[in-house]
Chains A and B, each alone.
Chain A
């Protein structure tokens, strides 16, 4: 496993993609940075509804800052999770809520490959992050 990337590296990697194929490759690379959840952590409660693949999200707070751990059974989704989590992890709830995450994801080239039902899943993830 590689270190969890900063928003800056995520941006560099994804914005450099010139084709969908490259975006897929970049997401696969990013996915490797996601620490997987254990079986016990993948509970119904932690599951995000509305995703085509199974996605689990755990929110932890430390000294007023939020940290996120997540997993999915789909690799591309794990890549997307690394990208979105890099945008919000370690920030306060208020700072996270003030972000326009959809716009930031669009800047990362991510709206392009997401099919509409799949992006509904991503929208559900964004909602969960900002809750």
Chain B
């Protein structure tokens, strides 16, 4: 294999530590990933060498900062194969990007219009639509997907002439399945609905081509793909971005302001009020570059191998409910009857294993699965087979101790 996670790991200084005397096994990558030196250096370099506000000063540093900032946009556009740089709008993250769309489309919604989401959504791709429905009198509808990420029968009936917005995740954060994205988008397009894809859990693992997906909007967060926190992207087709009412206004997004009226700037600036997160944009661009330099299919194959290794080991044990699929996923989501996931988490933590227990911001999905929460181990390119085994070993120990009734 062209890549070796043990070497790549050296790029991540944070991983070279122990937790309570045990090797730290960081398996909470679906929540946030660690950052390689390449990204850390890019951020440092910005502050050490060319920090200035962008698009403003006609001076040496401001020109440099602006150049790097706009190059960052270009790199992101390239990373997701957006046709033009101006289709990339900076946001705080996936959540803010979805809110930008939910507020920006409000003026086009009417009573009894329908907003369709899937049953696998993170609250970030659910609550903004629900609240939009409350504000406009539109109806929120939920397209049921099975826990394998497949269609329920008769899915077509959920798409109607009233469907104005269809929002779906590409990969479920809670159970790791990929959704049938392209067929869903194609179906929504028959009804001329706006389509939004939540790529938060996809970008770190899968190559993304927004033109191929053909959605109107695509959103993701930098911190889940080896980039910094507080930065993310709203991609949109030009016609789609053009109709959005800016949900924030202020400086940077204007061309001319008088007390009577304001002329807004062109895209992308029209949707980026205020001084942007310059350091974040530069750091995220560095994360894209870091990923692009890797053998990405090999990274994905490795992450899937780790998840599959854990899945295979645990299924053999019996008595463990697995909610993630056996293959084609980079995480394992499970529960153990009669043992609270929080207790499992506490035990794993005490032995240096960092995972996530709970509902994963997906209460309705947990209800569909009939659990209050799951334990999730999620893998990144720097994880090792030893860490996967450490997780399994400690989990089995925890079950032994906590299962004593």
Interface residues of B in 270-297 (CB under 8 A from A): none
Q: Contact at B402–A76, with CB atoms within 8 Å?
A: yes
B151, CB-defined interface residue at 8 Å: no
Contacts of B397 in A (CB 8 A): 21
Kindly provide the distance from the CB of B252 to the nearest chain A CB, expressed in whole angstroms: 37
Stretch with Cβ within 8 A of A (4 or more), from B113-121, B241-249, B345-353: B345-353
Instruction: Please indicate the chain B residues that have their CB under 8 angstroms from the CB of A38 in the complex.
Output: none
Assuming the contacts A20-B20, A21-B401, A24-B402, asked whether A75 and B350 have C-beta atoms less than 8 A apart, the reply is no
Q: A113 CA to B372 CA in the complex, in Å?
A: 23
Q: Once the chains bind, are B346 and A118 in contact (CB under 8 Å)?
A: yes
Contact, CB under 8 Å: B340 / A113: no
Q: Which residues of B contact A113 (CB under 8 A)?
A: 346, 350
Chain B contributes a number of interface residues (CB within 8 A of A) equal to: 17
Contacts of B342 in A (CB 8 A): 52-53, 74, 76-77, 118
A interface: dominant SS: helix
Please name all residues of chain B whose beta carbon is closer than 8 Å to the beta carbon of A75 when the two chains form the complex: 339-340, 343, 402
A24-B350 in contact (CB<8A) = yes
CA distance in complex: A25, B404 (Å) = 9
- Other-chain contact of B340, A24, A32, A53 (Cβ < 8 Å): A53
Q: Are B347 and A73 in contact (CB under 8 A)?
A: no
Rounded to whole angstroms, the CA-CA distance of A21 and B404 in the bound complex is 14
| Residues of chain B with a CB closer than 8 A to A77's CB | 340, 342-343
* Interchain nearest-CB distance for B76 vs A (Å): 34
- CB-CB < 8 A to B347: which residues of A? 24
Indicate with 1 or 0, residue by residue over A66-104, a CB within 8 angstroms of chain B CB atoms.
000000011111000000000000000000000000000
> Could you list which residues of chain B lie within 8 angstroms of chain A, going by C-beta atoms?
20, 339-340, 342-343, 346-347, 349-351, 358, 372, 397, 401-402, 404-405
Name 4 extra pairs, CB < 8 A, besides A21-B350, A76-B342: A20-B20, A21-B401, A24-B346, A113-B350
Binding site for B on A (CB under 8 A): 20-21, 24-25, 28, 32, 52-53, 73-77, 113, 115, 118
